[in-house]
Homo-oligomer: A and B are copies of this chain.
Amino acid sequence: MDVKERLADYAEMTAEALEKYLPQTDCLQKRVIEAARYSLSAGGKRLRPALVMEFCRVCGEEPETALPVACAIEMLHTFSLIHDDLPCMDDDDLRRGKPSCHKAFGEDIAVLAGDALAMLPYQIIAEAGLRRALPKDAALKLISLLGELSGVRGMIGGQTLDLQNEGRKPDVPIILEMYRMKTGALLEFSCRAGCIVAGAGADKQLVAGSFGQRLGLAFQIIDDILDITADEKLLGKPVGSDLEEGKYTYVAAVGLEKARERAAVLTAQAREALAEFPDNEFLLELTEMLLNRVY
C-alpha cells in the first residue's frame, strides 16, 4: 500500500466529483462559478476528502459512498480559504502558488464565490439523502455536525479568535483553543463523517473525531513551523508571513524545539486512536507523512 498513491486516487475521485457538483456555467452569472472552480481546482492535498473516504472504508463501506460528503468538506474548506485571504482578513495575494481568488476575480466575486461554497455543501448532502445515496438519518446528522463544526463554535470561531489575537500575544491555552476550532474542527468532521456514512457506532465516531482533532492540532503546529523554516517556492507563499501579519503562533510562544516535540506527541496520540480501526495502515502512514512534511 503506497500512501501517496491512494491519496492521489482519492484526490482524483474528489476532483471528478467536484466538477459534477459545481453548477453549470451556461448562465449570465457564470463568473462566480468560475471563481469557485478556480479556487477548488487549485488542488492542495485534498486531505479532508481522503479522511472522509478512508474512514468510511475502514468502517466497512465503499469509499465511493462518501464522495458527496468528501466534496462537501472540500468545498467548505475552500470557502474558508477564499474568505481568509481577503484584504480585510489575512490579506494574502497568493494561495498554493497561484493568485488568491480575490486577486484573480476581484474582491466582490471572491466574497460571493466563498458564500456559494459555504452553502453548497449542505445542499449536496441533503440531495444525497433525498436520492438515497446516503441514509436520510445520516444525511441530517452530517448536516447538523457540519454546521456545528464549521460555525461560531468551530471554524468560524477559530477565525474570529485568530483575528482578535492579531498583534497580541495570547496565552498558550488560547492559541491551542484557536487551533482546535480553526483547523481541528473540520478535520474532526472529516473523520467522524466517514464513520457516519458507513453507519459505524457512536464510539467509533468519537475515537475518529479525537484522531481528527489531534491530527489537526499537529497539522497547524507544523504549519507554523514551516512558515518559519520552509522553502518559499515549495510552500507556495512568502515565508515568515505569520510574523509579518502580527500573528503570534504556538511556535512563537514556545519556540521551535518545543513545538516540534508537541507535534510529535500529538501525532503519537493520533496514531494510538487509530488502533481502534482495522486495516489502518494508510491512516497511520498518512499521519506520519503529515508530521514529516517539508511544505
Contacts and interface: CB of A to CB of B under 8 A. Distances in A.
Interface stretch (A23-31, A250-258, A275-283): A23-31
B123 A111 contact: no
Contacts of A140: 126, 129-130, 136, 139-140
Contacts of A29: 152, 156-158, 160-161, 164, 181
A163 interface: yes
A148 interface: yes
A168 to B, nearest CB: 12
Contacts of A151: 23, 116, 119-120, 123
Interface residues of A, number: 59
Residue among A23, A79, A89, A115 with most chain B CB within 10 A: A115
B31 A164 contact: yes
Contacts of A115: 79, 83, 114-115, 118, 156
Contacts of A152: 23, 27, 29, 32-33, 36, 116
A144 B126 contact: yes
Interface in A120-170: 120, 122-127, 129-130, 136-137, 139-141, 143-144, 146-148, 150-153, 156-161, 163-164
A36 B274 CA distance: 39
10 contacts: A28-B164, A29-B156, A29-B164, A89-B108, A115-B156, A118-B118, A120-B151, A123-B147, A130-B144, A140-B140
Given A27-B152, A32-B152, A83-B111, 13 more contacts: A31-B164, A32-B156, A33-B152, A88-B107, A112-B159, A112-B160, A116-B156, A120-B147, A122-B146, A126-B144, A130-B140, A130-B141, A130-B144
